[in-house]
Amino acid sequence: MARPPQSVEELIRIYGPTLKYVPPGGWTQSALHAEDKLVKTHCCFCGQQCGIQLRVRHNEVIGFEPWEEFPFNRGMLCPKGVKRYLQGSHPDRLLDPLIRTESGFRKASWDEALQTTAIRLKEIQDRNGADSVAVLGGASLISEKSYLLGKFARIALGTRHIDYNGRLCMVSAGTAYKLALGVDRNPNPWSDIPQAQVVIVAGSNVAECFPITTDYLWRMRDNGGKLIVVDPRRTPITRNADLYLPVKPGMDTALFAGILHVVLREGLEDREFIEHYTTGFDAVADYVKQWDPLRTAEATGVSPQAIEKAALWFGSAENAMALHARGVEHHSHGVENVLSIINLCLATGNIGRPGAGPNMITGQGNGQGGREHGQKCDQLPGQRHIEDPAAREYVAKVWGVDPDSLPHAGLSAMEILEAIHRGEIKGLLSICFNPLVSLPDAGYIREALNKLEFFGVIDFFLSETAHHADVVLAGSLQEEEEGIVCSGEGRVIKINKAVDPPGNARGDSRIIVDLARHLGKGDYFKFPSTREIFNELRVASKGGTADYFGVTWERLEKEMGLFWPVPSEDHPGTPRLFEGGHFKHPDGKAHFLVAEVRPGGDPLDPDYPLYLTTGRVVSQFLSGTQTRRIGPLVDQNPEPRVEIHPELAAKHGIANGDLVTVTSRRASVTLPALVVRTIRPDTVFIPYHWPGRKSANNLTHRTLDPRSKIPEYKCSACRIAKAETPAGMKPNGELNVLGGR
Ligand SMILES: Nc1nc2c(c(=O)[nH]1)N[C@H]1C(S)=C(S)[C@@H](COP(=O)(O)OP(=O)(O)OC[C@H]3O[C@@H](n4cnc5c(=O)[nH]c(N)nc54)[C@H](O)[C@@H]3O)O[C@H]1N2
Ligand SMILES: Nc1nc2c(c(=O)[nH]1)N[C@H]1C(S)=C(S)[C@@H](COP(=O)(O)OP(=O)(O)OC[C@H]3O[C@@H](n4cnc5c(=O)[nH]c(N)nc54)[C@H](O)[C@@H]3O)O[C@H]1N2
Ligand code: SF4
Ligand SMILES: [Mo]
């Protein structure tokens, strides 16, 4: 974790020689200046949503200062956070709408671009029905935009098909928490972590992906607590771990069944809690009987001694927490994996207290808020289900429409791409999503995008996906519109506007409102600014699970955020859920659910004998559209490398830096090797932030979890071979190829 440098001069001193991007006028102009203003807001990247102050001069974000008072990060920022400001005035920034021509794109006026988008989508719907058009959204959008997008899809387009990129991220966790606990939100505020005696971190590279959480874990250890890490790779936090469980990819359900087996064998369960506050315990206890430590060790690759120790520590702790992220969730049985973690916490009574509970670590900036207000294919605002008649009636009333006119549940993100591939969905509007890099089986996704009759994209950069669009609408960065997000803790916070969009670029919300007008539905979208959208969101969420009615922008600023539900303006918010054993199911109880061990969708065999797992590195973010344009971050990780254990490398005659070809059942990718002792010898790892021939998603497969519809990014079958330098490739292994058509 880095403390931010105090001045741009210090940044130049640190990064000066390697900076690729120099703002107009050069770096030295960015010294302290009387005209500068500081805008308190939050980092646009991950779900930690660190507080930051952006330094603004002449409508340009030119730097930052720490925001020491914001309680979550107390001024700390990670390597991405301290450089986020560099993207705003990047030369690649889209400054005008673009329309496809024979030979590329041409600039267009807003009227032409919006009119073309509306006419083409309408034509497709007139010929093929309302559901022949789909909308894709994103969880980096502020909640006002995602609320607006849900309403836009259902009212302006009348399609049932709207989903978002959180479908690739948090849905296994969300689905499991809803099934077990009745609500899709983290049970604990992060200030609870240092109060735990034992914390299991399962499937999360906390130090690289949630650097500020590292500080919370260190404080837990300073207080005498123990850290257990479950991961096929010894990630950096493992250096400070008291116990490391090197699980085989895809085997977490078995591992947690084995841990629960030992807890029950030793009588460490909390009988009183189980009896008073839960249902379904007996079936789970019965299921885990077969997962004794020996069988669990065989299935998971974790030693029986380590399984015993983890169970004894977790089961005997007064307060224990289990934090998990995509390593356990990106599986075709991601929901079972998460349920197995929740079962362990419920059985030991670890929930609803400081320092006790299962918790998901939220990925995207608005990963939590983006899944609350109707951007999901089965959801209406306030985390209401779209098939619930009372929810339909209430939201229809707020929107001024007949409940029967509201579309029903539609397809999820990956299923939308499959329906496009089959020719059933012919038109697409996408905002804040780069599916060509981020969805599995990239070859298939490219084919699907090429089949679209019309494709409109709203983005501020020409992403690899936007290269396939017919119209690109130049949208806005987070700091260019005012609104809210909900951080991973469940804390609703205020995003402040620092600058206007540059050139002819426009605020995303204005673009969506204008499109609704061009589609003849302007009367339902009378929003002069995001404040009016927020006020409607408050009312639309009222009475729902994620009730924001008592949230106001003013309260958020004054109180440094509010944890939902906040049903009224005098309600203090709800930092910790389930206190006093009040769960959110109609029966008020938590539900144990049997988490059965199921095989993944891409099994190993003699031709594909290795596990391929994919994920992140500290300096790059998601599909890389933003961070691959920030020079200092690129320097840290200029390209993806394949992590390989020395034993496996020796078997194939591979030395560090050699080119390696990784082949799955779908494709081959050739990249330099990173030979490291920190990975299981039967597993290779590739970070996925790059497009084209460097894309890890050329290799991954399309199996989805049947309940959450998340793709199985964390477990594909592959083989490896040392590669010769192919024609067109530099001898140092640089591939020099970018995606797009
Ligand atoms: N630097 C950086 N930070 C980010 C992001 C980013 O792109 N870059 N993205 C943000 C977002 S949207 C997200 S979702 C989060 C993701 O945050 P994380 O989930 O922490 O990151 P990943 O690298 O996807 O995967 C985490 C770990 O899962 C392990 N793993 C793989 N397979 C398995 C398995 O079967 N079981 C277990 N137990 N572990 C397994 C991998 O080895 C890896 O260390 O990060 C957020 N923060
Ligand atoms: N193999 C593999 N694949 C993965 C994963 C993995 O671990 N392995 N992780 C998955 C996960 S967890 C995630 S979250 C997804 C993310 O996948 P994506 O959502 O596709 O990735 P992003 O890079 O966030 O793409 C967002 C696009 O929206 C733009 N954008 C960002 N903010 C805004 C905004 O406010 N307004 C507008 N108009 N545009 C905006 C960016 O420029 C970018 O082009 O990737 C998934 N894909
Ligand atoms: S931890 Fe996340 S929110 Fe905080 S500075 Fe880093 S990327 Fe931004
Ligand atoms: Mo994510």
In a domain, 645, yes or no: yes
197, 156: one domain: no
Question: C-alpha angle 460/465/470, rounded to 5°?
Answer: 85
654, 712: one domain: yes
Question: Pick the residue with more confidence: 120 or 4?
Answer: 120
Predicted pLDDT of residue 738: 41
Residue 32 has pLDDT above 60, yes or no: no
Between the CA of 726 and the centroid of ligand 4 the distance, in Å, is 33
Evaluate: CB of 687 within 6 angstroms of ligand 2.
no
Predicted pLDDT of residue 8: 45
Residue the block writes with tokens 């969880």: 139
Evaluate: CB of 66 within 6 angstroms of ligand 3.
no
Asked whether 492 and 556 are in contact (CB, 8 A), the reply is yes
129, 241: one domain: no
pLDDT tier, 675 (very low <50, low <70, confident <90, very high otherwise)? very high
Query: Mutate which of 208, 231, 713 to test ligand 1's pocket (most atoms within 8 Å of Cβ)?
Result: 231
pLDDT tier, 637 (very low <50, low <70, confident <90, very high otherwise)? confident
Asked whether 512 and 162 are in contact (CB, 8 A), the reply is no
Q: What is the pLDDT of residues 63-108, one digit of tens each?
A: 999 999 999 999 999 989 998 888 888 999 999 999 999 999 999 9
In a domain, 573, yes or no: no
pTM metric for this prediction = 0.94
In a domain, 394, yes or no: yes
Q: Determine which of 79-83, 380-384, 609-613, 667-671 has the lowest per-residue pLDDT on average.
A: 79-83
- Listed in order, strand segments (DSSP E) in 352-432 are 357-360, 379-380, 384-385, 427-431
Asked if omega into 232 is within 30° of 0 (cis), the reply is: no
Between the CA of 363 and the centroid of ligand 3 the distance, in Å, is 10
Distance from C-alpha of 466 to C-alpha of 633, rounded to nearest angstrom: 23
Predicted pLDDT of residue 632: 80
Which ligand neighbours the alpha carbon of 212 most closely?
3
How buried is 475 (Cβ within 10 angstroms: 0-12 exposed, 13-18 middle, 19+ buried)? buried
Predicted pLDDT of residue 728: 54
Q: In what order do the strands lie in the sheet with 243-245?
A: 243-245, 226-230, 198-202, 320-324, 357-360
Evaluate: CB of 252 within 6 angstroms of ligand 1.
yes
Between the CA of 275 and the centroid of ligand 1 the distance, in Å, is 36
Residue the block writes with tokens 């969905």: 425
Write phi, then psi, for 721 (nearest 5 degrees): -155, 150
187, 315: one domain: yes
Query: Mutate which of 92, 231, 434, 445 to test ligand 2's pocket (most atoms within 8 Å of Cβ)?
Result: 434
62, 128: one domain: no
Query: Mutate which of 205, 234, 614 to test ligand 1's pocket (most atoms within 8 Å of Cβ)?
Result: 205
Residue the block writes with tokens 């032409």: 112
Predicted pLDDT of residue 33: 73
Q: Measured between alpha carbons, how far is residue 485 from residues 95, 143, 298, 559 in Å?
A: 25, 6, 44, 15
Predicted pLDDT of residue 31: 52
Q: Which atom of ligand 3 is least distant from the CA of 49?
A: 3
Question: Pick the residue with more confidence: 736 or 555?
Answer: 555
Evaluate: CB of 140 within 6 angstroms of ligand 2.
yes
Predicted pLDDT of residue 349: 98
Predicted pLDDT of residue 557: 97
How buried is 703 (Cβ within 10 angstroms: 0-12 exposed, 13-18 middle, 19+ buried)? buried
Q: Whose CA is nearest to atom 5 of ligand 3?
A: 81
The enclosing H or E element of 382 equals none
Distance from C-alpha of 342 to C-alpha of 488, rounded to nearest angstrom: 18
Q: CATH number for the domain including 680?
A: 2.40.40.20
Between the CA of 16 and the centroid of ligand 3 the distance, in Å, is 22
In a domain, 302, yes or no: yes
Q: What is the pLDDT of residues 387-414, one digit of tens each?
A: 999 999 999 999 999 999 999 999 999 9
Between the CA of 432 and the centroid of ligand 2 the distance, in Å, is 7
Q: Which atom of ligand 1 is least distant from the CA of 202?
A: 38
Q: Whose CA is nearest to atom 22 of ligand 1?
A: 615
pLDDT tier, 19 (very low <50, low <70, confident <90, very high otherwise)? very low
Q: CATH number for the domain including 124?
A: 3.40.50.740
Query: What percent of the chain clears pLDDT 90, i.e. is strictly above it?
Result: 90
520, 433: one domain: yes
Q: Which of 321, 339, 360 is the last residue of a domain?
A: 360
Evaluate: CB of 78 within 6 angstroms of ligand 3.
yes
Evaluate: CB of 326 within 6 angstroms of ligand 1.
yes
Q: CATH number for the domain including 270?
A: 3.40.228.10
Q: Measured between alpha carbons, how far is residue 319 from residues 361, 575, 633 in Å?
A: 19, 17, 38
Q: What is the pLDDT of residues 680-726, one digit of tens each?
A: 999 999 999 999 999 999 999 999 999 999 999 999 999 999 998 65
Q: What is the pLDDT of residues 376-393, one digit of tens each?
A: 999 999 999 999 999 999
Domain count, the chain: 4
Between the CA of 103 and the centroid of ligand 2 the distance, in Å, is 27
Query: What percent of the chain clears pLDDT 70, i.e. is strictly above it?
Result: 93
Residue 374 has pLDDT above 70, yes or no: yes
Which ligand neighbours the alpha carbon of 326 most closely?
1
401, 298: one domain: no
515, 628: one domain: no
Q: Which of 337, 360, 383 is the last residue of a domain?
A: 360
Predicted pLDDT of residue 530: 98
**How remote is the C-alpha of 111 from its chain's centroid?**
34
335, 432: one domain: no
29, 125: one domain: no
Q: Which atom of ligand 3 is least distant from the CA of 211?
A: 1
Predicted pLDDT of residue 561: 98
In a domain, 549, yes or no: no
Predicted pLDDT of residue 476: 98
Predicted pLDDT of residue 34: 77
pLDDT tier, 634 (very low <50, low <70, confident <90, very high otherwise)? confident
Q: Which atom of ligand 2 is least distant from the CA of 466?
A: 44
Which ligand neighbours the alpha carbon of 621 most closely?
1
Query: Mutate which of 209, 256, 611 to test ligand 1's pocket (most atoms within 8 Å of Cβ)?
Result: 209
Q: Measured between alpha carbons, how far is residue 704 from residues 31, 330, 452, 600 in Å?
A: 51, 9, 23, 10
- Mean per-residue pLDDT over the chain, rounded: 93
Q: Which of 540, 562, 589 is the last residue of a domain?
A: 540
325, 456: one domain: no
pLDDT tier, 729 (very low <50, low <70, confident <90, very high otherwise)? low
Q: What is the pLDDT of residues 264-280, one digit of tens each?
A: 999 999 999 999 999 99
In a domain, 557, yes or no: no
Instruction: State which residues form the domain around 648.
Output: 610-722
Predicted pLDDT of residue 385: 98
Distance from C-alpha of 383 to C-alpha of 386, rounded to nearest angstrom: 9
Q: CATH number for the domain including 29?
A: 3.30.200.210
In a domain, 492, yes or no: no
Residue 350 has pLDDT above 60, yes or no: yes
Predicted pLDDT of residue 89: 82
State both tokens at 286. 């019965």
Between the CA of 168 and the centroid of ligand 4 the distance, in Å, is 6
In a domain, 652, yes or no: yes
pLDDT tier, 15 (very low <50, low <70, confident <90, very high otherwise)? very low
> CB within 8 A of 514, min separation 6: which ones?
110, 114
304, 329: one domain: yes
